[in-house]
Amino acid sequence: MALKILLRLLPPDALNFLLRQNVIRKAALRKAEKELYKFFVVLNRENRPLRMQESRFLMLQNLLHSLDRAISENRISPKVSRALISNFAGRVLMSESSCTQSFKDRYGFEPPAFLTISPTKRCNLTCRGCYASSSSESAETLPFNIVSRIIREKTEIWGSYFTVISGGEPLLYRSNGKTLFDIFEHHRDNYFMMYTNGTLITEEVAARMAELGNISPAISVEGFAKETDARRGKGVHSKILKAMDNLRKFGVPFGVSITATRDNADSIVSDEFIDDYFSNEGAVYGWIFQYMPIGRSYTTDLMLTPEQRLDLFIREEKIIKEHNLFMVDFWNGGPYSVGCISAGRPGGYFYIDWNGNMAPCVFFPYHLANAYDIYREGKTINDVLLSPYFSSIRSWQNEYGYTQPPDKVQNYIVPCIIRDHYEKAHSLISEFGAKPLDSSAAEALEDADYCCRMKAYGKDVMAITQKYWKDTFTGPLQKKDVR
């Protein structure tokens, strides 16, 4: 690929200078699009359903366009774009490091692309339905040396240069006088995305992010001011707007992270919402997380109905195709991610919480391994990846579609082992004796009514989306090579 050759030949400073020139960047963008289309659709070396590959191409194309728009409008500072080139493009997107290859040769599959780590449970807000049940009282925090060791290991063993930080509120992280910025600084070879409530992003914090360049915050919103303040607390929305202002001022790219519930599913995909956060505030990307009934006061009543789920999927597709936005729904996004990415699937991840417990996914809160234990036993995070518990989840993913030929791939609009196929998740948790991450996860596991509702939800959502999946993603391309 031309971009790959450029990344190899030119030092990041030179490439950064060239890509900040509009004419050169537009030409590079067109070239990159052609290469991506060839990779995903024409060659399709992974042998996936072709119409799904076309959607995956479109999503990446949207990411490139979003970054292009942000640079054109001066929303990304030169220092940050340099870090984006050397870290995100150079290492994350183009990662074919020798350790990745040697991992594949040794174990027969590709390593995960990233980890999500919640270094602290502490939070300055108490949002309704928080998946982490965080609050200002919560003191659980992973020591700096453990967080740092985990990041170093994944970089060295897997060739993974992308790290997601969640929480709690990550900006409240403190360990032996160190903050999260010490983590970012210590691991400058990684690119970090941090989920944050945004209320602590002052001018000083934004300036520090700009100086380091290897961090992008994804700020939580629930819709507009009314919905955000209703769930997160009065005055939170105006603090978020101030944070976005600070990030724009210092040229730090940011995204929005939205929890979709039965109540806001309509408004978060409205034109008004898109205009507000993407056009006016300048968000570069968006993540939608459909409310998952885990965490504080969990209830299946806030989950999207199966009908809403399909409607949301169709409207998200429209946003991707017509607004050219990089906006991914963590559940409906199955066709883009090739299904469930938990348990360290190739290109996927697993989750480590503030107690060092290692679960398949943020939303699959049942674990067997713990960071303190594995380090005491002289093991690494790779031993957790290879554990029978995680391997059995990856086997399910493989059977569902990841390693299947196109005509055997099952419905990826409903890819989630714990949300859409709860029966399977429940049986694996029991078989391996996986332990809940917290008391609400323990309660849910024993709750017969919850179990019944989750199983029924999976069946209903499969029935409602199956025809759409078949009509939209299976079979030959509608138009022959459009490029």
Q: Where do contacts with ligand SF4 occur on this chain (CB under 6 A)?
A: 330, 340-342, 361, 363-364, 415-419
Distance (Å, whole) CA 226 – CA 146: 40
Distance in Å, CB of 455 to ligand SF4, minimum: 15
Distance in Å, CB of 16 to ligand SF4, minimum: 33
The CA-atom distances, in angstroms, between 152 and each of 156, 164, 320 are 6, 14, 35
Amino acid at 415: P
Distance in Å, CB of 393 to ligand SF4, minimum: 8
- Which C-beta is closer to ligand SF4: that of 56 or that of 75? 56
Distance in Å, CB of 394 to ligand SF4, minimum: 11
Distance (Å, whole) CA 393 – CA 432: 11
- Which C-beta is closer to ligand SF4: that of 238 or that of 427? 427
> The tokens 């859409």 sit on which residue?
420
A 10 A CB-CB count for 174 gives 13
Distance (Å, whole) CA 79 – CA 73: 15
Distance (Å, whole) CA 173 – CA 120: 6
Distance in Å, CB of 184 to ligand SF4, minimum: 25
A 10 A CB-CB count for 176 gives 8
- Which C-beta is closer to ligand SF4: that of 243 or that of 437? 437
- Which C-beta is closer to ligand SF4: that of 277 or that of 291? 291
Distance (Å, whole) CA 249 – CA 178: 26
Distance in Å, CB of 356 to ligand SF4, minimum: 19
Distance in Å, CB of 277 to ligand SF4, minimum: 23
Pair type for strands 369-370 and 215-221: unpaired
- Which C-beta is closer to ligand SF4: that of 144 or that of 285? 285
User: E strands along 302-409, which residues?
Assistant: 327-329, 351-352, 357-359, 366-367, 369-370
Distance in Å, CB of 390 to ligand SF4, minimum: 12
- Helix extents (H) in 159-195: 180-186
- Which C-beta is closer to ligand SF4: that of 126 or that of 387? 387
- Which C-beta is closer to ligand SF4: that of 255 or that of 365? 365
Query: Which residues partner with 447 through β-bridges?
Result: none
Question: In the 8-state DSSP scheme, what is residue 261?
Answer: -
* Inter-residue contact 476 to 50 (CB < 8 Å): yes
User: E strands along 347-419, which residues?
Assistant: 351-352, 357-359, 366-367, 369-370
Distance in Å, CB of 363 to ligand SF4, minimum: 4
Q: What is the dihedral of CA 411, 417, 419, 424, to 10 degrees?
A: 110
- Which stretch of DSSP H or E encloses residue 401? none
- Which C-beta is closer to ligand SF4: that of 175 or that of 342? 342
The CA-atom distances, in angstroms, between 233 and each of 130, 137, 183, 469 are 13, 17, 29, 38
- Which C-beta is closer to ligand SF4: that of 312 or that of 417? 417
